């Protein structure tokens, strides 16, 4: 066996080089500062991830999906509000209220010239301008939208604002002064509609997201 190794020869093993890609070590067994540098970078990336900055997917595809979700929620909220108002005007207006849960909840069609829940009837044109402004602001926010919860919240706001704005424009007594159709009448509470509900739900969701430090672009701020 020894004779065969003498004839064939023993292959050289570069012990100094070690395994391919191994980091060089100093004489005392410690890793050199150059070798430790990538680990420091990874630690920094992990810190950014904890702050919610490195984990946000800001690709065009993500933004496009969030915008589609926003407008899908808005269209759904708008169609539900519009359909319910058309049904109420055709079947319930000038009729006796319909009791749903006894005295706790009724359907009672009324015309509201004010804001949500019958507030501020003397400022119909002001509320019309506010609703139009909300729609413009939401459209501008959509350009940097990467957060799924924010897409849902803004969609609810947009659908509700469009629902009531449609009444302001197309219902009597005139353009931008039209009275909104309300019909959901809980006991000891103001009468409202589905658009009002969408606006309130969207507003509550935005408050919760802001409280948690989540921005529309997906960035999380931790105080």
Angle between helices 148-170 and 124-141 (to 10 degrees): 150
What tokens does 66 get? 């969030």
Q: Alpha helix locations (H) across the chain? A: 2-8, 33-50, 60-91, 124-141, 148-170, 194-211
What span, in angstroms and rounded, lies between the C-alpha atoms of 180 and 165?
Answer: 8
User: Is residue 48 annotated as part of the catalytic site, yes or no?
Assistant: no
Q: Which of 12, 28, 42, 182 is catalytic?
A: 182
Residue that has been written with the tokens 């800001």 in this structure: 58
Cα angle 90-92-98, degrees, rounded to a multiple of 5: 155
User: Is residue 182 annotated as part of the catalytic site, yes or no?
Assistant: yes
Residue 17 has phi, psi (to 5 degrees) of -80, -30
Q: Which of 48, 196, 215, 223 is catalytic?
A: 196
HSE, side-chain direction, 13 A CA sphere, residue 35: 10
Active site residues: 182, 196
């Amino acid at each position: 066996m020894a004779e065969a190794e003498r004839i064939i020869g023993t292959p050289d093993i570069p012990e100094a080089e070690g395994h391919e890609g191994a980091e060089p070590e100093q004489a005392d067994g410690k890793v050199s500062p150059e070798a430790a540098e990538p680990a420091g970078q990874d630690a920094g990336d992990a810190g950014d991830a904890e702050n919610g900055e490195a984990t946000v997917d800001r690709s065009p595809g993500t933004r496009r999906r969030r915008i589609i979700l926003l407008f899908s929620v808005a269209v759904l909220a708008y169609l539900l509000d519009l359909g319910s108002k058309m049904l109420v005007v055709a079947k319930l207006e000038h009729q006796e209220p319909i009791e749903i849960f006894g005295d706790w909840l009724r359907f009672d069609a009324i015309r509201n010239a004010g804001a949500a829940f019958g507030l501020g009837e003397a400022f119909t044109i002001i509320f019309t301008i506010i609703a139009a402004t909300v729609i413009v602001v939401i459209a501008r926010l959509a350009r940097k939208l990467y957060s799924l919860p924010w897409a849902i919240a803004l969609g609810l706001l947009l659908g509700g604002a469009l629902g009531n704005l449609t009444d302001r424009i197309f219902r009597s007594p005139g353009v931008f002064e039209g009275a909104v159709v309300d019909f959901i009448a809980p006991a000891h509470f103001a009468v409202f509609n589905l658009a009002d509900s969408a606006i309130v739900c969207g507003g509550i969701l935005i408050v919760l997201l802001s409280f948690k430090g989540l921005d529309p672009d997906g960035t999380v701020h931790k105080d």
